[in-house]
Amino acid sequence: MSLFSFQIPFMPEQASKFALEVDLFYIALWLITIGVTIGIVIAIFVFMVKYKRRHNGEIPDQIEGHMMLEILWSVIPFIICIGIFAWGAKIYYQMYSEPKESLEIFVTGKQWMWRAQHPDGQREINTLHVPVGRRVKLTMTSEDVLHAYFIPAFRTKTDVVPGRYTTTWFEATKPGTYHIFCAEYCGTQHSGMIGTVTAMEPGEYQAWLGGGTNEPPAIVGERLFSSLACNTCHTADGKGRGPKLTELYGKQVKLNNGSSVTFDDTYIRESILDPAAKVVENYQVIMPSFRGQISEEQIGQVIAYLKSIGPKDGDAAAKPAATAAAKPAAAKPAPAATK
């Protein structure tokens, strides 16, 4: 066994790429805290004995400051604190910087369960199947209250917030079944909002995917896009009342107020539920809100469809779209309005 692969018996199993470093960081904090505490306690007892009053009339000697001692107890704690900050920042950056290539899974929290949808269409409730050795990115939102998606064995915990998307990622390092908890109190059955994540060898994961009959979310999203009449305004030729949405995902789009925004998951969701919030340059507020008509899961499917017709790999960072961006779910015919 490698020196850097040991298992700490009183901590959860280490099953992700950054689990060990997180544990080592916490152990370092414990050791520093214990060491400093012991040092302070020893110093207290030494000073109690050395400088105790020998008789009632004793007048203690005046002790002048010691420059070297002053420097040491200022510089050493400073170096320790900077070291803790640097190490913690490194781990944080690794854990919260989204990988460029990953398996993207959409997760929705709801009192009191977790729903997950895979790119190939497989759906799960309170379970999550992932391949070992592959980076997995979770895009998460809540349908009701604040939740938190916590996988102790992967050392990952992320708030799942209603009205917005949050993301996290991990890379499982060994097959097994691990716990999922909601780590944010969300109601009377909070303690029952649990599940399991199953890490599988790549071949087994592909076989598991092949056993499903669900359609990929992009295909379902395309049907939703048509059934909601989005394609009547967001036409492929760009001549509709809404902007053309093909090859747009991930690009910067210009708004009527002169600012710019990235055409991403958050913007698409906001545009579906609140079309007047950020209107694309040269377009009017004619799109109705679909709030209450479409679920979070269906919004994720529409996003998957818009991703599928977006730029190919490497194109999303290309030149910004000139004026076209925008309202992902187009309006059914409605009277034009102005801001």
What local confidence, expressed as pLDDT, does residue 299 receive?
86
Residue 25 parent element (H or E) = helix 19-50
What local confidence, expressed as pLDDT, does residue 272 receive?
87
Taking the C-alpha atoms of residue 46 and residue 48, their distance in angstroms, rounded to an integer, is 5
> Which residue in this structure is represented by tokens 């030149």?
319
Residue range 255-286, pLDDT digits in tens: 888 888 888 888 888 888 888 888 888 888 78
| Per-residue CA distances from 126 to 92, 103, 110 (Å) | 27, 19, 11
Token pair of 298, please? 């269906």
317 DSSP 8-state letter: T
Whether 33 shows a pLDDT value over 90: the answer reads: yes
What local confidence, expressed as pLDDT, does residue 7 receive?
57
The full DSSP string for 179-204 is: EEEE-S--STTGGG-EEEEEEE-HHH
What local confidence, expressed as pLDDT, does residue 28 receive?
93
Q: Mean pLDDT for the chain?
A: 83
| Per-residue CA distances from 201 to 38, 117, 127 (Å) | 47, 19, 17
Angle at 22 between CA 20 and CA 23, to 5 degrees: 65
Taking the C-alpha atoms of residue 65 and residue 131, their distance in angstroms, rounded to an integer, is 62
> Which residue in this structure is represented by tokens 């910004």?
320
What local confidence, expressed as pLDDT, does residue 130 receive?
93
| Mean pLDDT (whole number) for 77-97 | 93
- Which three-class secondary structure state does DSSP give residue 284? coil
What local confidence, expressed as pLDDT, does residue 107 receive?
93
What local confidence, expressed as pLDDT, does residue 327 receive?
39
CA nearest 297: which of 184, 198, 217, 180? 217
Assign domain 217-308 to a CATH class: mainly alpha
What local confidence, expressed as pLDDT, does residue 142 receive?
92
CB 124 within 8 A of CB 205: no
| Per-residue CA distances from 10 to 7, 27, 176 (Å) | 9, 12, 19
pTM for the predicted model, two decimal places: 0.69
List strands edge to edge, sheet with 156-160. Answer: 127-131, 194-200, 176-182, 147-151, 156-160
| Mean pLDDT (whole number) for 207-225 | 79
What local confidence, expressed as pLDDT, does residue 41 receive?
95
Q: How confident is the model at residue 212 (pLDDT cuts 50, 70, 90)?
A: low
Whether 207 shows a pLDDT value over 90: the answer reads: no
- What are the beta bridge partners of residue 260? 254
| Mean pLDDT (whole number) for 167-193 | 92
Range 103-210: architecture per CATH: Sandwich (2.60)
Q: How confident is the model at residue 221 (pLDDT cuts 50, 70, 90)?
A: confident
Whether 238 shows a pLDDT value over 50: the answer reads: yes
What local confidence, expressed as pLDDT, does residue 6 receive?
54
Give the residue, 129 or 65, on which the prediction is more confident: 129
CB 141 within 8 A of CB 157: no
CA nearest 107: which of 119, 98, 115, 99? 115
CA nearest 219: which of 92, 304, 103, 94? 304
Residue range 283-325, pLDDT digits in tens: 887 888 888 778 888 888 888 888 888 886 554 443 343 333 3
Taking the C-alpha atoms of residue 302 and residue 296, their distance in angstroms, rounded to an integer, is 10
What local confidence, expressed as pLDDT, does residue 313 receive?
59
| Mean pLDDT (whole number) for 214-237 | 82
